[in-house]
Amino acid sequence: MTETVETTATGAILYDKAIINHITEAHFTSEGWPHVEVLDGALRSSGRGNTLFVGNVPRQFVLRHYIRGGLAAKFLRDTYVFSGADKTRSFLEWRLLDKLATNNMRVPRPAAARFVRSGTFYTADLITVRVPGIVPLSQYIADNEPDESFWRDCGAAIHEFHKAGVYHADMNAYNVQIDGDGLLWLLDFDKGALRAPGPWQQETLGRLHRSLKKIIGLDPRLNFRSSNWDQLLEGYFEASRSA
């Protein structure tokens, strides 16, 4: 890891020179890239038009502008209270992803982050390396008929994150992604953290379960049944017993 922080006129940029050896504020906008593709959401996924695929193959990136969800979004759509550069959402997520990627966890490798300050508030952006061939779990169960071993492996993979103390604040069927080999990845670690074992582990599992049940309500043809959730839990707890 080659972390570099450069101060700008309105904030700062944090980046990894091994991935991007030169970066400007323009790279945090769609105009700063020769190729831009808007990430579309399906089945009411959370993509609020704030995520873009940018750059050319073979190395593409994902550019995300931080936007609030829930009721707060009506009043403070993309601004947050500034309490220091190291506490900005973009810098916190960049450094968490860097730790996880360095330890070979299946998360996107962070490339760059920035914040732009305006008085007591700031906006933020994050650039990560695009993981090739991954699709949201919601899409995967629409396009495939996963067997029992898939769901058990998903449970074991989630336990691997939990064993490492990885807290994901919004583990849902969109942020859980599946690659071409059927392996589970986690995306979007805004408000994520490393924590000691606790109730949060079951809470994140519950959040994923609610998300899956919700999308089945939107499209009952998706390949997910209650027995699949039991299989996921079996894989999770079997992994915990063998840990």
* Cβ pair 155, 122 in contact under 8 A: no
Q: What is the CA radius of gyration of the chain?
A: 18
- Give the CB-side neighbour count of residue 225, counting CA atoms within 13 A: 6
Q: What are the backbone dihedrals phi and psi of residue 6, each rounded to the nearest 5 degrees, phi first?
A: -120, 130
Antiparallel, parallel or unpaired: β 135-136 and 3-7: unpaired
The catalytic site residues sit at 170
Which residues 6+ apart lie within 8 Å of 168 measured at CB?
Answer: 161, 175, 186, 189, 192, 204
Q: What are the backbone dihedrals phi and psi of residue 163, each rounded to the nearest 5 degrees, phi first?
A: -60, -35
* Cβ pair 99, 3 in contact under 8 A: no
Helices (H), the chain: 89-102, 137-143, 148-163, 200-218, 226-242
Distance of CA 152 to the CA centre of its chain: 22
Whole-angstrom Cα distance, residue 214 to residue 208? Answer: 10
Whole-angstrom Cα distance, residue 36 to residue 53? Answer: 6
